[in-house]
Amino acid sequence: MPPDPKSLDPKRLARDAKRAQAQRPDAGIGRETTGVTRAVRAGLPVIRELRAAGVTWAAIAEAMSAQGVTQGAGKPLTATRLTAIVTQVEAQERRKAEREARRRARPDLTVSPEAISPSAPASSLPPSATPAPLPARPTPPGSGARATEEEIRRAGLDDLHRLLKKP
């Protein structure tokens, strides 16, 4: 017989959940469940370099298997599985970058100067290295002060096109 949900101890639940969370590896992504994905994510820059140098997927998979990265119950990593995981990890990185770009483009959020350039304060840059100020964002067309979500998106896309246009 399952326990009565009314008898659930909230303090114990919080304590047990915190202990379970502390025991979990910090993967950064909730869906990452295998060591292969973690190894591919960590080695992705090297994998890209090897591919650019002409090394085959099969050779990379074999080399990773030799270092203990296996699929399933100790089976060697295959080229097919490796390419699938690399594709998945790259898609996750792309989606993360797109989410961050959308967030930075939101007009209702303020961005601190440290968040834009944490490596060097703006005052330490030489005048020639400072970017030209962006033109003022035009208010999207719409009725009054309130713009629809679509208008905000289109205005953001126009800003992006202007920013990326070659001079």
pLDDT (average), residues 43-64: 90
φ, ψ of residue 66 to 5 degrees: the values are -65, -25
From the number of C-beta atoms within 10 Å of its C-beta (0-12, 13-18, 19+), residue 100 rates as exposed
Lowest mean pLDDT, pick from 15-19, 94-98, 152-156: 15-19
Residue 101 counted as domain residue: yes
Residues 6+ apart with CB under 8 A from 1: none
Q: How far apart are CA 146 and CA 144, in angstroms?
A: 6
Residue 72 counted as domain residue: yes
The end-to-end CA distance of the chain, in Å, is: 72
* Rg over CA atoms, the chain: 24
What mean pLDDT, rounded, does the chain reach? Answer: 75
Residue 13 counted as domain residue: no
pLDDT (average), residues 31-47: 80
Residue 16 counted as domain residue: no
Whole-prediction pTM value? 0.47
> pLDDT tens digits for 62-119?
888 888 888 877 788 899 999 999 999 999 999 999 999 988 888 777 655 555 555 5
Residues 6+ apart with CB under 8 A from 103: 109
Residue 20 counted as domain residue: no
Please report the pLDDT score of residue 18 as a whole number.
79
Residue-number span of the structural domain to which 63 is assigned: 32-105+147-167
Residue 26 counted as domain residue: no
Residue 116 counted as domain residue: no
Alpha helices in the chain (DSSP H): 10-23, 35-52, 57-66, 79-105, 113-116, 149-164
Please report the pLDDT score of residue 123 as a whole number.
47
Residue 125 counted as domain residue: no
Please report the pLDDT score of residue 14 as a whole number.
76
Domain count for the chain, please give it: 1
